[in-house]
Structure 1
Amino acid sequence: MSGKPQRNVHLNVFLRATGHHAGAWRHPDSHPELEHDIEYLAHLTRIAERGKLDSVFLADGYAGRGSKLEPFTQLSALAALTDHIGFIATVGTVYNEPFHVARQFASLDHISGGRAGWNIVTGAGSAAHNFSRDEHPEHAQRYESGEEFVEVVKQLWDSWEDDALVFDKARGVQIAPDRVHEINFKGHTYSVKGPINIPRPPQGYPVLVQAGSSEAGRELAAKTAEVIFTAQQTFGAGQEFYADVKGRLAKYGRTADQLVILPGFAPIVADTEAEARDIEQELHSYVDTKRALNELSERFEVNLNDYDLDDPVPVDRAKAAEAFNGIRSRQEVVIDAARRENFTIRQLLHRSNGGHGHITFTGSVLQAADFIEQWFRNYAADGFNVLPQLFPTGLETFVDKVVPELQNRGLFRTEYEGTTLRENLGLARPANTRHHSSAAADRPAG
């Protein structure tokens, strides 16, 4: 009998005040006016924690007219109001400096007791005009400098040995000076002396998350990431992506259990499929179809408003990923799903309305559990990044009904495995191999 631990589903929830359906904010059950209310956001987070979910996740950006709280501020507040759930913040590399990001994530990890994660993005949309720059870097340049950025951050976290804080009152020494080190990093983009001015994070490194599915994104994930948020919309595409990325790990000396793959999953769930369909139709009724088609048309060389809704999606007129002014990998998976499933424009519109290009699902509690089990057992996913299409009711239904069904099937935890996000994800705490101290670098992360 193998001593290998049982593989379990991992579930993250993509936190949003009203829901991930385009019409959710207009639904009577949603609360768009509470988008910046920390008590309401804490209420949502506690629902997720009640369901023993691994973490909550915040997207972020530096341009546009969206209204959202800054992630570090929000997640630090939520960390103080919860006990077990992890916190993953999106922070881009293009419009930040490695020292700031290293310090902010180390702080969040200390504040939360080891529950922080970093969703590493290079920046799909330009914010150059907000940062005294003339233009947004090209895709290849963003990935090259982004990889260097992450390396600098990791070296800064390692600039403190694990036992650097001694608090020796008798000798009058708080920090052992020989256990804090300059990094003197000099690369193509960054030159950083160090050290950072905060001790090494409780987890060693906050969990490293990556959210791209392009060729460059897959390679970066295989080399660096510990969790990958992805957007494959069909079971076949999920299996292909899973096998491809896991198959790249060995050349970096990594094993399959060192990377957790979580496709986005945007569910509408009710006790029966008919009830779920009613919720779906109501949400669709709140969407301005013409405006939504205009936005969806940005992925094509034609205006979809010129077609009948029940016409096939003109996949032959889709823009190439390289020509799409957005997340290139998302363009690929959206068009791939339309091609594989022979979508009509109406079906593509509804999927776009419901999950930002992620898997959309409408059905009963048992059907939702079946869907998750199929993808998980057949190696199309290690779990899901859950995007309820309506908050708070969609999250409550998922936590109070779908999660117990997964637990009954032996697929999901009934208690948290540990006190840190790493422990709950089954990820080891990275040793400080640059500056190995007398303290056991592999000590528990809590």
Structure 2
Amino acid sequence: MTRQVHLNAMFHTAGEHLVGWRHPSSPADPSLDLAYATRLVQRAEAARFDALFLADLTGIPDSKPSVLERVAVTNDSFEPITLLAALAAVTSRIGLVATASSSYNEPYTVARAFASLDHISGGRAGWNLVTSLNDSEARNFGYDTHLLHADRYRRAEEFYDVVEGLWDSFDDDAFVHDAASGRYFDPERIHRLDHRGERFRVAGPLNVPRPPQGRPVIAQAGASEPGRALAARIGEIVFIAGGGLEGSREQYADLKARAAALGRDPDGLLVLPALSPIVAPTRAEAEDRFAELEALLDPVVALGDLEYWLGGVDLTRYDLDGPLPELPPSNKSVSTAERIYTEARASGLSIRQFAKASSATNDRYTIGTPTDIADHIEEWSTTGAADGFNVVFAQLPDTLDAFADLVIPELQRRGLFRTEYEGTTLREHLGLARPASRWAA
């Protein structure tokens, strides 16, 4: 049987491209439109995507007002778990993955929210554990600056352990609901956590029954050394980006080896590189569609995006027609900043040219015909670079509709992607086992 790929639909309703909201076929005010979000996720479910994924920040980014006023990706958006709970009511199969920060939350709150989402959706919830990115998030939670990189990953390790323990508070059969005897649950099948660690003291138990999936699916995206270590220990979906085919093969092999060294089944960790497809019946049409989108990109926004991912540095202090200089280390996404430096040096472009050419993430765009996109997916998923893809939709609804109408049928024709859902939970879609409770013995 041909190996099946997993497809995760990542999108913000305004589109993930910095100027996706400006495209003539996109609504200019989509972020708080629940009806529009419903139309998009139902389209993804009809295409049989494994899951919908919502990225998130807990604050408006640290960027110049001249940049912020021109972008929609992060400035106005629903809190993701709230949105996914609403979307659970209008879908039946597609997985629902939300981001929640371990730096600016408490474990009990996160455990309760995702257990609730898993129950509401009938076992379709997933948690993307992040450590957050910037000082603007920190200032919303009583800190002057963002937690140091190493500190926030140590916090994330313990945070996850507490959440996982809380999800096991009730045995699967703890609730008897015996109206005749008046016995609602069996007190012998409820467990206190009594966690006392370096950063958290949590008694438990959680006041939500064990989730239908045992535990919601865990997603992770760390690419730095601490990030990879965390992903290898807890990640069931691991999002990666950058580095091209060879870079993805390196990350894929490294993550699988790390998981195996920790006693995990490597097949229980699914590696999903980012893929942002621009697809049309002909390559010329696809190139025209991408050029149309790029023409809307203001140079101020392109430069501001580059500044953001480099840690908030003001690049206007440097010669924009010169090369990107060495800058102080970033406390945001360390791996992203390192990748950008590597690409900038290799490109030979000036700061101005590199900002326009890359928009920090343009390496993800795959532009071409349905055959071109399917060839890309097949090569990566059959040569040790991917178990599937985190499909990023630059502009909506067009890129989602084109992928669903043109690429999905080609993948199905090749036997690479499902024609129907075979299960009802996200774990079933991903081929992941339902974990036993720590108290099962």
TM-score, length basis structure 1:
0.90
Determine the structure 1 residue equivalent to 2:30: 34
Q: What secondary structure sits across from 1:108 in the alignment?
A: helix
Alpha-carbon separation, structure 2, partners of 1:288 and 1:78: 33
Counterpart code for 1:30: S
Q: Does 1:430 align with 2:432?
A: no
Over residues 270-313 of structure 1, what are the superposed CA-to-partner deviations in whole Å (9 max), with x where a residue is unaligned?
111111111111111111114422442453895598345xx8xx
Shift of 1:135: 3.3
Shift of 1:160: 0.6
Assess if the C-alpha contact under 8 Å between 2:8 and 2:390 holds in 1.
Answer: yes
Determine the structure 2 residue equivalent to 1:97: 106
Assess if the C-alpha contact under 8 Å between 2:114 and 2:216 holds in 1.
Answer: yes
Determine the structure 1 residue equivalent to 2:408: 403
Equivalent of 2:341, from 312, 321, 335?
335
Q: What secondary structure sits across from 1:34 in the alignment?
A: coil
Q: Does 1:76 align with 2:85?
A: yes
Shift of 1:340: 5.7
Equivalent of 1:198, from 186, 202, 208?
208
Determine the structure 2 residue equivalent to 1:43: 39
Assess if the C-alpha contact under 8 Å between 1:99 and 1:196 holds in 2.
Answer: yes
Alpha-carbon separation, structure 1, partners of 2:356 and 2:47: 28
Equivalent of 2:387, from 363, 366, 382?
382
Q: What secondary structure sits across from 2:169 in the alignment?
A: coil
- Any stretches of 5+ residues in structure 1 without a counterpart? 438-446
Q: Does 1:238 align with 2:242?
A: no
Shift of 1:335: 3.3
Q: Does 1:166 align with 2:153?
A: no
Over residues 307-362 of structure 1, what are the superposed CA-to-partner deviations in whole Å (9 max), with x where a residue is unaligned?
45xx8xx46x3446xx1242112122333445566667677435543x74651122
Shift of 1:134: 3.5
Alpha-carbon separation, structure 2, partners of 1:374 and 1:341: 25
Q: How large is the RMSD of aligned CA atoms in angstroms?
A: 2.1
Assess if the C-alpha contact under 8 Å between 1:268 and 1:276 holds in 2.
Answer: yes
Counterpart code for 1:98: P
Q: How does 1:154-233 map to 2 (within 5 A)?
A: 154-233=164-243
Assess if the C-alpha contact under 8 Å between 2:240 and 2:248 holds in 1.
Answer: no
Change over 3 Å in CA distance of 1:301–1:35 after alignment to 2: closer
Change over 3 Å in CA distance of 1:343–1:171 after alignment to 2: farther
Alpha-carbon separation, structure 2, partners of 1:427 and 1:290: 44
Alpha-carbon separation, structure 1, partners of 2:383 and 2:6: 15
Alpha-carbon separation, structure 2, partners of 1:168 and 1:297: 61
Assess if the C-alpha contact under 8 Å between 1:124 and 1:327 holds in 2.
Answer: yes
Alpha-carbon separation, structure 1, partners of 2:256 and 2:82: 34
Change over 3 Å in CA distance of 1:272–1:304 after alignment to 2: farther
Alpha-carbon separation, structure 1, partners of 2:350 and 2:380: 24
Assess if the C-alpha contact under 8 Å between 1:17 and 1:31 holds in 2.
Answer: no
Counterpart code for 2:118: D
Change over 3 Å in CA distance of 1:344–1:385 after alignment to 2: farther
Determine the structure 2 residue equivalent to 1:279: 289
Determine the structure 1 residue equivalent to 2:365: 360
Shift of 1:261: 0.6
Q: Does 1:128 align with 2:124?
A: no
Over residues 59-86 of structure 1, what are the superposed CA-to-partner deviations in whole Å (9 max), with x where a residue is unaligned?
1111216110011110000011001100
Determine the structure 1 residue equivalent to 2:319: 306
Q: What secondary structure sits across from 2:271 in the alignment?
A: strand
Shift of 1:14: 0.9
Alpha-carbon separation, structure 2, partners of 1:338 and 1:359: 15
- Any stretches of 5+ residues in structure 2 without a counterpart? 62-74
Identity of aligned residues (%): 46
Alpha-carbon separation, structure 1, partners of 2:233 and 2:169: 21
Counterpart code for 1:39: A
Equivalent of 1:324, from 304, 308, 330?
330
Change over 3 Å in CA distance of 1:239–1:342 after alignment to 2: farther
Assess if the C-alpha contact under 8 Å between 2:8 and 2:49 holds in 1.
Answer: yes
Determine the structure 2 residue equivalent to 1:59: 55
Change over 3 Å in CA distance of 1:146–1:30 after alignment to 2: same
Alpha-carbon separation, structure 1, partners of 2:383 and 2:326: 31
Counterpart code for 1:362: I
